[in-house]
Structure 1
Amino acid sequence: MSTETPLYLRVAERLRARIESGELPPGARLPSVSEISREYGGSNSVATSAYRLLVDEGLVVSRHGAGHYVRSHDTHELLVRRHRVKSKDSPFAQGAAEQGSVGTWRHESTTEQASEEVAARLSIEPDAPVMHTSYVYLADDQPVQVAESWEPLAVTGQSLVALPEVGPYAGVGVAARMRVLGIDVGEPVERVRARMASRTEAQALGMTPPGPVMVIERTYYDQTTGRPVETADIVMRGDRWVAVYGQAPDAG
């Protein structure tokens, strides 16, 4: 029985040594998959497996369409997510701007019937009409977050805020849009967990290969009636985000 170390592990070890020695400094672009294959032999899967291991170890970051880079610890790698219930603008755009990035997003809204799961989260009947909006959020044109949002049309359907990204209140966030209807949503309820990205999520987020993501199930409630007015599934790149809850008191 052969006990030879698999080629992808040997490739990973050689790249790791070059990184740890400083030969490949933070921010340096690493050889492409095809370059690795030519240098070490084997198929492209050898290089892909080696890079997957180094990404999992935190030594390397993968940038969709741009290759692999040595992770830099001297730059702001993480985007901090904080609650911004009272924000008049997009909480995502505002938060990105405060961290030196430009936040943009793509979106698509459709009217559909609530699934049993969505209906349970919104306390409505299955098949009741909802506005479903899909989002891809970008920081400096790089995808960092995707989301699926549902709002009961019984709440928003007769108003100018029915389409979240169309009209005079487009893009201002759930809390600000609900205030137009006289609804105070307060702090949302969030369930947070971590898992590996699905293939579809990884493709949308530019994660090659798929990596860990932070998943948030969020629901906003009318603080007067207790009625859910929006629920969403938010998937964030685990290598780009840290979530911060609460606020320290002012020192003065």
Structure 2
Amino acid sequence: MDSLNNLTGIPQYIRIREELRGRILSGDLSRGSKLPSEEELSTSYGVSRMTLRQSMSDLVDEGLLYRKHGVGTFVALQHFARDHSYLQNFFENSRQSGLLVDEKILEMSVVPARFQVAKALELAEGDQVIRLKTLRIVEGNPVTIHEAFFSFEKFSDFVENNIETLSKDLLAFYESKGFKVRRGIQRLDARAAEPEVAVLLEMEIGAPVLYKERTLYTEEGIPVEFLYCHNRGDLYSVTFNLSAE
């Protein structure tokens, strides 16, 4: 607790909050670990439980801690915040944020386009599309199920290449085939995790997920890709850069 002594003239709850924040960010308090009880911590810091609760409430609001009723307080897992104001490469964006990311290919197949996919890609129902389903992992935790569909007629050689490499930059692959993506339309919904989603994202059935649908277009308005995404509600958030007209 020596660092607390260096913060003289600052209210105790702020000093404790900053001490705990520093220990979380440095890894001294491991992500997902349970904190000692309020009684133990208040005794350790030499403050009342009310003061300690104020410190911890700030960290809960910040997303660094979370509480389980009747169980205790835990250090939150690494949260992934992504700016959806622009079309960005997931892996490049993550590296710039200093996060360790990985991807697991769950399925790659050529399937007949169902109604929603066909409509988004301006195809006839039953036309062949490539379905690429992957699991994206951030800091060792499964965060996103990413399921993309694109025309087999336009991109048939995708299945003959190194899928593990191409899947990490689909925008570059589309552009290499003459389809440079310039814009997209997407919709976000809050949903409850269904059994398959819950298993893949290692969460409880019914836990909140951020669901996304998106269609990408070239500058000429040609649809290139349609996708579904299921993102863990406790680990994934989106930001938008807004401006007045």
Q: Same fold (TM over 0.5)?
A: yes
Q: Which residue of 2 aligns with 1:241?
A: 236
Q: Which residue of 2 aligns with 1:134?
A: 133
Q: Give yes or no for the alignment of 1:192 onto 2:188.
A: yes
* Structure with the bigger percentage of strand: 2
Find the residue that maps to 1:203 and give its secondary structure: helix
- Please tell me whether the aligned partners of residues 164 and 170 of structure 1 are also in contact (alpha carbons under 8 angstroms): no
Q: 1:59 to 1:110 in 2, by over 3 A?
A: same
Q: Give yes or no for the alignment of 1:92 onto 2:90.
A: yes
Q: Which residue of 1 aligns with 2:67?
A: 59
State the 1:69 CA deviation: 7.6
Q: Encode CA deviations 1:20-46: one digit per residue, 9 max, x unaligned.
A: xx9xx995438xxxxxxxxxxxxxxxx
Find the residue that maps to 1:95 and give its secondary structure: helix
- Please tell me whether the aligned partners of residues 109 and 131 of structure 1 are also in contact (alpha carbons under 8 angstroms): yes
**Separation (CA, whole Å) in 1 of partners of 2:164 and 2:198:** 33
Q: Which residue of 2 aligns with 1:40?
A: none
State the 1:245 CA deviation: 2.1
- Please tell me whether the aligned partners of residues 164 and 171 of structure 1 are also in contact (alpha carbons under 8 angstroms): no
State the 1:78 CA deviation: 2.1
- Please tell me whether the aligned partners of residues 197 and 211 of structure 1 are also in contact (alpha carbons under 8 angstroms): yes
Q: Which residue of 1 aligns with 2:103?
A: 105
Match of 1:204 among 186, 200, 204: 200
Alignment map for 1:1-252 (pairs within 5 Å): 28-29=33-34, 58-60=66-68, 70-72=73-75, 77-83=78-84, 85=87, 91-107=89-105, 108-157=107-156, 159=157, 162-163=158-159, 166=162, 170-224=166-220, 226-246=221-241
> Match for 1:59: what amino acid?
R
> Match for 2:81: what amino acid?
V
Q: 1:167 to 1:29 in 2, by over 3 A?
A: closer
> Match for 1:149: what amino acid?
A
Q: 1:131 to 1:203 in 2, by over 3 A?
A: same
Calculate the TM-score normalised by the size of structure 2: 0.65
Q: 1:168 to 1:212 in 2, by over 3 A?
A: closer
Q: 1:242 to 1:170 in 2, by over 3 A?
A: same
Find the residue that maps to 2:183 and give its secondary structure: coil
Specify every segment of 5 or more residues in structure 2 that has no aligned partner in the other structure, as ranges.
1-19, 21-28, 36-65
**Separation (CA, whole Å) in 2 of partners of 1:95 and 1:166:** 22
Aligned length: 184
State the 1:164 CA deviation: 9.5
Q: 1:232 to 1:69 in 2, by over 3 A?
A: farther
**Separation (CA, whole Å) in 1 of partners of 2:197 and 2:96:** 26
User: Pairwise CA RMSD of aligned residues?
Assistant: 3.2
Q: 1:168 to 1:214 in 2, by over 3 A?
A: closer
* Structure with the bigger percentage of helix: 2
Q: 1:69 to 1:199 in 2, by over 3 A?
A: farther
- Please tell me whether the aligned partners of residues 131 and 150 of structure 2 are also in contact (alpha carbons under 8 angstroms): yes
- Please tell me whether the aligned partners of residues 27 and 70 of structure 1 are also in contact (alpha carbons under 8 angstroms): no
**Separation (CA, whole Å) in 2 of partners of 1:239 and 1:105:** 19
**Separation (CA, whole Å) in 2 of partners of 1:215 and 1:195:** 6
State the 1:167 CA deviation: 5.8
- Please tell me whether the aligned partners of residues 190 and 218 of structure 1 are also in contact (alpha carbons under 8 angstroms): yes
Compare 204-213 and 92-101 and name the one that shifted more.
Answer: 92-101
- Please tell me whether the aligned partners of residues 183 and 218 of structure 2 are also in contact (alpha carbons under 8 angstroms): no
Q: Percent identity?
A: 21
Find the residue that maps to 1:186 and give its secondary structure: strand
